[in-house]
């Protein structure tokens, strides 16, 4: 069986290697227009920062063997033609036209089965100056080398990153490691649209504490320079820039598939069934060029990740070889490192859940990722969202220096299994002090959400609270210690330390909503219990505490 695979970075080599394990007699050829093969694209920010020392590390096996055409031929027994572009798919003839980019020679490959793994390309906004010297994307090793060269020549002291998504924020840390003054410009009202605004606020504050400037709700209108970049023009003024990193998302590479008449999906990716079969019975597709299904909403989505590409690649290979396998879909599980913070998310954000028609309930539960007495214990903010009627978990988000990723991974399993918040709260997770509290953070946030669903606990995020304050229907109650208040305060908040609250409840109006808070609102919850016991009927805890308050605060 002749099998041709177009694309040799993520999904393509996975498809080829799996086919050869299934059918060692298969004749497999991979066509890749670039030089570099099977490299870890998600490692590029860490190559720029210097954590990864050489580009070879991104393209090597765990024992240090380079994944080049010779390796794939001798070890995996399939052929890779790099520097070779697939120019046309001829479905009737079952051939692929190819062009050698070194010699210009054109030829064709015949196939019994074809697998398209063409990936995605970075989107370049239609603005003046996007082609100036010093403007980069970060989509391949060539891009990383260009950025590293500029850094080595000390030509990038002022750097602007257009886009506050995963790659943009990972690059912020990488560039800061080189001593750059970094400004992140994001058109939306918060960075990281994969999480909700109140969680993103924590990330933004951490970035600013590390020296990065964050400008949200800001649109880039042009890039200025005479031959090379000198400034970025926004609707809020100009920003000096020696280098610009454009990180505003990617688009699936579907030109070959479209020209061949294959069906595309609503999101612009190649449409496949669960076996990764396209609208042609002899053509499969996998990776960032494909449009998967969101397992929660059942709707098409586009979440380009190397993890998904590898899973789809395995399914496509099994399907090509006649094995029964299926790729069910995705739930958007993602994680990134932003300086000292882990930022992770799975399932739906509140905004996405509401847009999908769910009546949601969510909570934020902060706490240390290990018992407080253990060295290295670090805080995590976990947010859990569920459907109000069915109590089914819809999403989890984690932000903070603690181990949030493993809690989010647990939630990903729960969401995939369709678990309710009550079922999740009873999952038998591992416990030992070096690894977690006796009641793991994931179980704590599930129990808090159960309380809220059952009407035993009320909470709201800052963005919900602000209109109540502006209308005069609510009062903020600060229950922190005097020392904490000296460091940071919300001036309009009443202040009664938690230890004095029972004896001073008469100072609070019973005809208004009382909103207690502390640094992270653990004591805010204790205050709510005291107030309810004292006869206050309308008490709402500020989710996440003063740390998540995005409005004016006085810092001393």
Give the per-residue pLDDT at 57. 84
Same domain for 158 and 299? no
pTM, to two decimals: 0.91
Same domain for 237 and 262? no
**CATH no. for residue 434?**
3.30.390.30
pLDDT at 553 over 70: no
Using the 3D structure, point to which of 453, 475, 493 is the last residue of a domain.
453
- Asked if the structure places residue 126 within a domain, the reply is no
Give the per-residue pLDDT at 488. 87
Closest CA to 360 of 196, 474, 536: 196
**Element containing residue 310 per DSSP (H, E):** helix 306-320
Give the per-residue pLDDT at 555. 56
Q: Using one digit for the tens of pLDDT, what is the confidence trace for 82-129?
A: 999 999 999 999 999 999 999 999 999 999 999 999 999 999 899 999
In this structure, of 139-148, 261-270, 302-311, the range with the lowest mean pLDDT score is 139-148
In this structure, of 161-165, 219-223, 375-379, 552-556, the range with the lowest mean pLDDT score is 552-556
Rounded mean pLDDT, 131-137:
92
Which pair of tokens denotes residue 261? 């008449």
DSSP string covering 122-160, please? Answer: E---S-BTTTSBTEE--SSHHHHHHHHHHHHTT--SEEE
Give the per-residue pLDDT at 40. 73
Same domain for 162 and 263? no
Rounded mean pLDDT, 522-532:
93
| Coil, strand or helix at 114 | strand
Give the per-residue pLDDT at 43. 85
Q: Please check whether residue 485 is in contact with residue 478, taking contact to mean a CB–CB distance below 8 angstroms.
A: yes
pLDDT band at 413; cut points 50, 70, 90: very high
Indicate if the alpha-carbon torsion angle 504, 505, 511, 514 is positive or negative: positive
Q: CA dist 201 to 169, 436, 476, Å?
A: 14, 26, 20
Same domain for 92 and 178? no
- Asked if the structure places residue 335 within a domain, the reply is no
Same domain for 423 and 483? no
Rounded to whole angstroms, the Cα distance separating 398 from 128 reads: 38
- Asked if the structure places residue 193 within a domain, the reply is yes
Same domain for 13 and 96? yes
- DSSP bridge pairs for 113: 3
pLDDT > 70 in the chain, percent:
99
Give the per-residue pLDDT at 55. 81
pLDDT > 90 in the chain, percent:
79
How many helices (H) does the chain have, and how many strands (E)?
A: 17, 30
Q: Please check whether residue 378 is in contact with residue 177, taking contact to mean a CB–CB distance below 8 angstroms.
A: no
Rounded to whole angstroms, the Cα distance separating 540 from 544 reads: 12
Same domain for 192 and 295? no
- Asked if the structure places residue 130 within a domain, the reply is no
Same domain for 17 and 112? yes
Please state the domain count of the chain: 4
**CATH no. for residue 523?**
3.40.250.10
- Asked if the structure places residue 171 within a domain, the reply is yes
In this structure, of 63-67, 227-231, 243-247, 422-426, the range with the lowest mean pLDDT score is 63-67
Residue with structure tokens 């809690």?
407
**CATH no. for residue 312?**
3.50.50.60
Same domain for 7 and 110? yes
- Asked if the structure places residue 31 within a domain, the reply is yes
Q: Using one digit for the tens of pLDDT, what is the confidence trace for 452-486?
A: 999 988 999 988 999 999 999 999 999 999 999 88
Rounded mean pLDDT, 442-454:
95
Domain, as residue range, for 541: 459-555
Closest CA to 159 of 147, 167, 145: 147
Rounded mean pLDDT, 54-73:
80
- Asked if the structure places residue 128 within a domain, the reply is no
pLDDT at 395 over 90: yes
Same domain for 259 and 244? no
Give the per-residue pLDDT at 347. 98
In this structure, of 64-78, 206-220, 440-454, the range with the lowest mean pLDDT score is 64-78
Q: Please check whether residue 363 is in contact with residue 384, taking contact to mean a CB–CB distance below 8 angstroms.
A: yes
Alpha helices in 324-455 (DSSP H): 350-355, 405-416, 421-424, 441-453
Give the per-residue pLDDT at 522. 85
Using the 3D structure, point to which of 426, 453, 480 is the last residue of a domain.
453
Rounded mean pLDDT, 419-425:
98
- DSSP bridge pairs for 519: none
DSSP strands (E only) in 153-219: 158-162, 181-185, 213-215
Residue with structure tokens 């300086």?
339
450 CB burial (10 A radius; 0-12, 13-18, 19+): buried
Same domain for 15 and 65? yes
Task: Kindly list the catalytic residues.
Answer: 42
Give the per-residue pLDDT at 380. 94
Rounded mean pLDDT, 224-244:
94
Q: Using one digit for the tens of pLDDT, what is the confidence trace for 30-44?
A: 999 988 777 778 888
Rounded to whole angstroms, the Cα distance separating 419 from 339 reads: 33
Same domain for 79 and 178? no
- Asked if the structure places residue 202 within a domain, the reply is yes
Q: Please check whether residue 383 is in contact with residue 520, taking contact to mean a CB–CB distance below 8 angstroms.
A: no
Which pair of tokens denotes residue 56? 């070879």
Rounded mean pLDDT, 50-69:
81
Q: Using one digit for the tens of pLDDT, what is the confidence trace for 484-515?
A: 988 888 988 999 999 999 999 999 999 999 99
Q: Using one digit for the tens of pLDDT, what is the confidence trace for 252-294?
A: 999 999 999 999 999 999 999 999 999 999 999 999 999 999 9
Higher pLDDT pick, 141 / 22: 22
Give the per-residue pLDDT at 479. 96
pLDDT band at 556; cut points 50, 70, 90: low
Give the per-residue pLDDT at 520. 85
Using the 3D structure, point to which of 320, 349, 364 is the last residue of a domain.
320
Give pairs for 276-279: CB < 8 Å, separation 24+.
Answer: 276/115, 276/312, 276/315, 276/316, 276/319, 276/327, 277/319, 278/116
Average pLDDT, the chain: 93
């Amino acid at each position: 069986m002749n099998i041709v695979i177009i694309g040799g970075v993520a999904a393509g080599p996975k498809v080829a290697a799996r086919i050869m394990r299934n059918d060692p007699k298969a004749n497999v050829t991979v066509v890749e227009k670039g030089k570099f093969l099977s490299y870890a694209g998600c490692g590029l920010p860490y190559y720029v920062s210097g954590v990864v020392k050489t580009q070879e590390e991104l393209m090597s096996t765990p024992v240090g063997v380079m994944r080049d055409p010779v390796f794939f031929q001798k070890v995996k027994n399939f052929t890779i033609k790099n520097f070779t572009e697939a120019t046309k798919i001829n479905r009737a003839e079952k051939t692929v036209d190819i062009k050698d980019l070194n010699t210009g020679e054109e030829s064709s490959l015949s196939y019994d089965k074809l697998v398209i793994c063409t990936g995605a390309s970075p989107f370049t906004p239609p603005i003046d100056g996007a082609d100036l010297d010093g403007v980069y994307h970060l989509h391949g090793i060539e891009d990383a080398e260009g950025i590293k060269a500029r850094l080595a020549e000390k030509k990038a002291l002022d750097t602007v990153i257009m886009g506050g998504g995963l790659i943009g924020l990972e690059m912020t840390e990488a560039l800061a490691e080189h001593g750059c003054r970094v400004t992140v410009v994001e058109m939306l009202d918060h960075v990281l649209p994969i999480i909700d605004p109140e969680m993103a606020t924590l990330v933004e504050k951490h970035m600013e504490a590390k020296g990065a400037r964050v400008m949200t709700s800001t649109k880039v209108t042009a890039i200025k320079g005479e031959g090379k970049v000198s400034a970025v023009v926004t609707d809020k003024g100009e920003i000096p820039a020696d280098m610009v990193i454009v990180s505003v998302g990617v688009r699936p590479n579907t030109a070959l598939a479209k020209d061949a008449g294959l069906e595309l999906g609503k999101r612009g990716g190649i449409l496949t069934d669960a076996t990764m079969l396209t609208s042609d019975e002899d053509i499969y597709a996998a990776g960032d060029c494909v449009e998967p299904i969101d397992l929660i909403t059942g709707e098409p989505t586009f979440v380009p990740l190397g993890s998904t590409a590898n899973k789809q690649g395995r399914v496509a290979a099994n399907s090509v070889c006649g094995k029964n396998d299926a790729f069910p879909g995705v739930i958007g599980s993602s994680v990134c490192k932003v300086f000292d913070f882990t930022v992770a998310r799975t399932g739906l954000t509140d905004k996405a859940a509401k847009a999908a028609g769910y009546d949601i309930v969510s909570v934020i539960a902060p706490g240390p990722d290990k018992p407080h007495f253990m060295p290295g214990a670090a805080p995590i903010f976990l947010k859990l969202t569920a459907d109000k009627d069915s109590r089914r978990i819809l999403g989890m988000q984690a932000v903070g220096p603690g181990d949030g990723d493993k809690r989010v991974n647990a939630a990903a399993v729960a969401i995939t299994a369709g678990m309710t918040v009550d079922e999740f709260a009873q999952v038998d997770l591992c416990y030992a002090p070096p690894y977690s509290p006796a009641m793991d953070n994931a179980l704590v946030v599930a129990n808090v959400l159960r309380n809220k669903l059952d009407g035993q606990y009320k909470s709201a995020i800052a963005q919900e609270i602000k209109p109540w304050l502006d209308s005069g229907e609510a009062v903020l109650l600060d229950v922190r210690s005097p020392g904490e208040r000296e460091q940071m305060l919300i001036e309009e908040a009443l202040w009664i330390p938690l230890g004095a609250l029972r004896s001073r409840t008469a100072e609070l109006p019973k005809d208004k909503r009382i909103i207690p808070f502390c640094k992270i609102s653990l004591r805010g919850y204790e205050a709510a219990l005291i107030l309810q016991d004292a006869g206050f009927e309308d008490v709402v805890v500020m989710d996440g505490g003063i740390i998540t308050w995005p409005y004016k605060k006085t810092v001393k």
